[in-house]
């Protein structure tokens, strides 16, 4: 099997999906993994969920463990430019040929599932199983696994981890998880396992209460990051980076990360507290924390390219992430004017996101994306929303043309920000690198 064939198998599975509300869908994942010999049982794991920051936090945990000398698998989602991004070992994505090879080992189990009451696995289930199988075949010491959506019925919730992490809880995927923070927190808290430490940076009172109740029910030690870790900003060593200290009762770490956004400081603190919780099995030193985080790259997370005008790519597909982006832009680019290129998926709270961004000195170019399994909000509708908040806006249906328009109308000292849907950020980020003569990331 080659990579193109493996990709076709995945594409065909996009419509093979039991409803996200169907209560038995985790049983299907368990049955699929059982047919594969339960690869998830062959290594230790850390399970990372939450509304925002879970991908960054998972990547930070993996980077620190890798620096400490462990063989570390990392599963994150979604991918930006290639599905191979979903599974990494030691910070290196699975190679396309190896991806196809591992996919071929799943085929007997896929055929076996087709003859059961569950039917064929879904797209996401295939990718999770492929990552777990890859980690097992490569004999990783530990895997850091990001939750897909929610927690209770997510396909990753087959793990029996050393620690469960809940970064925060906000309103997202309300069509699946519920329309209140309490309901969403209840679903996300489903990853908490009996007698297993749970680490959370959640700050919403309803979320804190739900997580505490679930932890108590499961006799799971609850570690609240905002109470345990003290964050002290330090003078930044270079442009477009952040230097800070994180102090816990066990240690003090001075860290420089090549990432923008104050929210990354709490993500780093969350990673540190999680690593302390598993320190008996996987000890790390302060040098591993600073060393692992100093070279961390997170594509699509405040990803900055200096130019005239400069560009920044950031996935902000819900209101919490939109607010975090706005705060980061105000902090790191004071006095700048912004031209936003935005596409938002249907079902998101587009009005809240646009209202938040409209507080900046900004004009909008709204566009769309074309994928088979997700619909984009109409650019014209988004344009009208922005105008209702007094912001200058226009609709340009083609994403590449939208970016071209934004770069033409932006002044040399302005910043073009590509944001909203993962699909848009991935598409235009890849197009820019291939076609626009980018000068490279901002170096710290």
Domain end point (choices 294, 315, 330): 294
Residues 274 and 383 in one domain: no
Contact between 418 and 313 under an 8 Å Cβ cutoff? The reply is yes
Residues 311 and 270 in one domain: no
- The alpha carbons of the chain give a radius of gyration, in whole angstroms, of 21
Contact between 43 and 73 under an 8 Å Cβ cutoff? The reply is yes
Residues 67 and 117 in one domain: yes
Residues 290 and 308 in one domain: no
Residues 108 and 43 in one domain: yes
3-state secondary structure of 355: helix
Q: What is the CATH number of the domain that holds 278?
A: 3.40.1190.10
Enumerate residues 6+ apart whose C-beta is below 8 A from 226: 201, 203, 266
**Residue 233 located in a structural domain:** yes
Tell me what pLDDT residue 22 has. Answer: 54
Tell me what pLDDT residue 402 has. Answer: 97
Domain end point (choices 263, 294, 325): 294
Tell me what pLDDT residue 370 has. Answer: 87
Tell me what pLDDT residue 404 has. Answer: 95
**Residue 440 located in a structural domain:** no
Residues 10 and 59 in one domain: yes
Contact between 364 and 354 under an 8 Å Cβ cutoff? The reply is yes
Q: H or E segment at 426?
A: helix 422-435
∠ Cα 80 164 183 (to 5°):
80
**Residue 321 located in a structural domain:** yes
Q: What total of structural domains would you count in the chain? A: 2
3-state secondary structure of 385: helix
Tell me what pLDDT residue 19 has. Answer: 47
Residues 190 and 227 in one domain: yes
DSSP state of 207: H
Residues 279 and 313 in one domain: no
Residues 88 and 167 in one domain: yes
Q: What is the CATH number of the domain that holds 378?
A: 3.90.190.20
Domain end point (choices 277, 294, 311): 294
Contact between 344 and 332 under an 8 Å Cβ cutoff? The reply is no
Tell me what pLDDT residue 235 has. Answer: 86
**Residue 382 located in a structural domain:** yes
**Residue 240 located in a structural domain:** yes
3-state secondary structure of 65: helix
Residues 342 and 246 in one domain: no
**Residue 44 located in a structural domain:** yes
Residues 325 and 278 in one domain: no
**Residue 443 located in a structural domain:** no
**444 residues of the chain, pLDDT tens digit each:** 999 999 999 888 865 444 454 556 789 999 999 999 999 999 999 999 998 889 999 999 999 999 999 999 999 988 888 999 999 999 999 999 999 999 999 999 999 998 888 888 989 999 999 999 999 999 999 999 999 988 888 999 999 999 999 998 865 544 445 568 888 899 999 999 999 999 999 989 999 999 999 999 999 999 999 999 999 999 876 778 899 999 999 999 999 998 888 889 999 999 999 999 999 999 999 999 999 999 898 888 889 998 889 999 999 988 888 998 999 999 889 999 999 999 999 988 999 999 999 999 999 999 999 887 778 999 999 999 999 999 999 999 999 999 999 999 999 999 999 999 999 999 999 899 888 654 444 433
Structural domain boundaries enclosing 120: 3-294
∠ Cα 374 375 378 (to 5°):
155
**Residue 148 located in a structural domain:** yes
Tell me what pLDDT residue 173 has. Answer: 46
Residues 267 and 358 in one domain: no
Tell me the H-state helices in 68-204: 96-114, 123-137, 174-177, 181-188
């Amino acid at each position: 099997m080659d990579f193109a064939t493996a990709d076709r198998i995945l594409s065909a599975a996009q419509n093979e999906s039991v409803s996200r509300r169907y209560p038995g869908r985790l049983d299907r994942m368990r049955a699929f993994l059982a047919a594969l010999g339960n690869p998830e049982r062959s290594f230790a794991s850390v399970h990372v969920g939450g509304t925002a920051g879970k991908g960054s936090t998972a990547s930070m945990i993996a980077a620190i463990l890798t620096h400490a000398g462990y063989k570390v698998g990392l599963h994150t989602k979604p991918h930006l430019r290639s599905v191979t991004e979903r599974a990494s070992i030691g910070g290196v994505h699975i190679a396309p040929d190896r991806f196809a090879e591992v996919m071929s080992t799943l085929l007997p189990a896929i055929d076996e599932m087709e003859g059961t009451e569950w039917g064929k696995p879904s797209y996401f289930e295939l990718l999770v199983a492929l990552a777990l199988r890859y980690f097992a075949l490569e004999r990783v010491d530990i895997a850091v696994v990001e939750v897909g959506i929610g927690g209770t019925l997510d396909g990753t919730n087959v793990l029996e981890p050393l620690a469960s992490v809940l970064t925060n809880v906000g309103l997202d995927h309300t069509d699946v998880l519920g329309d209140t923070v309490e309901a969403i927190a209840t679903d996300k808290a489903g990853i908490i396992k009996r007698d297993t430490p749970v680490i959370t940076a959640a700050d919403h009172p309803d979320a804190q209460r739900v997580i505490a109740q679930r932890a108590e029910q499961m006799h799971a030690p609850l570690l609240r990051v905002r109470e345990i870790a003290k964050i002290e900003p330090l003078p930044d060593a270079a442009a477009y980076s952040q230097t800070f200290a994180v102090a816990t009762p066990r240690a003090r770490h001075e860290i420089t990360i090549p990432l923008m956004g104050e929210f990354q400081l709490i993500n780093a603190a969350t990673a540190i507290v999680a690593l302390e919780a598993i320190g008996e099995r996987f000890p790390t030193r302060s040098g591993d924390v600073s060393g692992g985080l100093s070279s961390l790259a997170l594509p699509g997370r405040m990803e900055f390219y200096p130019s005239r005008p400069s560009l920044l790519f950031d996935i902000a597909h819900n209101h919490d992430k939109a607010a975090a982006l706005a705060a980061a832009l105000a902090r790191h680019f004071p006095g700048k004017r912004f031209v936003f290129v935005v596409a938002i998926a249907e079902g998101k709270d587009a009005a809240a996101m646009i209202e938040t961004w409209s507080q900046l000195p900004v004009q909008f170019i709204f566009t769309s994306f074309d994928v088979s399994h997700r619909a984009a909000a109409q650019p014209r509708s988004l344009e009208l929303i922005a105008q209702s908040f007094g912001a200058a806006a226009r609709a340009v249906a083609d994403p590449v043309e939208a970016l071209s328009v934004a770069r033409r109308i932006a002044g040399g000292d302005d910043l073009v920000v590509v944001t909203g849907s993962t699909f848009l950020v991935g598409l235009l980020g890849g197009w820019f690198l291939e076609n626009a003569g980018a000068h490279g990331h901002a170096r710290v």
